[in-house]
Amino acid sequence: DIVMTQSPDSLAVSLGERATINCKSSQSVLYSSNNKNYLAWYQQKPGQPPKLLIYWASARDSGVPDRFSGSGSGTDFTLTISSLQAEDVAVYYCQQYSTILRTFGQGTKVEIK
């Protein structure tokens, strides 16, 4: 199985400041045949199901604010919130879908400093 490891486990950021979450996979999730990284990011607010934010490592899902961006390739990925808003307080998960056995990172909790 591909192991996904996020860092940090939690972070506190001031309103309006940048938040950066890292995700590392134990093997590459890049398919050379189509040059796509099979990596997604989700946001989960308390008491709610997760919501897809980013797919193909950098494509924003419909309706996702442009302050959210994804980057990276191969085994190293980053989710950036460019200007943290109060409504962004949540747990964020990365997930690979390059193999049949889908796997998630352990989650990163984002709070307001």
Partner 1 sequence: EVQLVESGGGLVQPGRSLRLSCTASGFTFADYTMSWVRQAPGKGLEWVGFVRSEPYGGTTEYAASVKGRFTISRDNSKSVAYLQMNSLKTEDTAVYYCTRDGGRGFDSWGQGALVTVSS
List residues near partner 1 by CB under 8 A.
1, 40, 42, 44, 49-52, 55-56, 59, 61, 93, 95, 97, 100-107
Exposed, middle or buried: residue 34 (CB in 10 Å: 0-12, 13-18, 19+)?
exposed
Name residue 96's beta-bridge partners: 39, 103
CA distance 90 to 22: 15
Minimum CB separation of residue 15 from partner 1 in Å reads 26
Nearer to partner 1, 1 or 76 (CB): 1
* Closest CB to partner 1 among residues 74, 107: 107
Output the smallest distance, CB 108 to partner 1, in A.
10
Give first-to-last CA distance, the chain, whole Å. 36
Nearer to partner 1, 14 or 80 (CB): 80
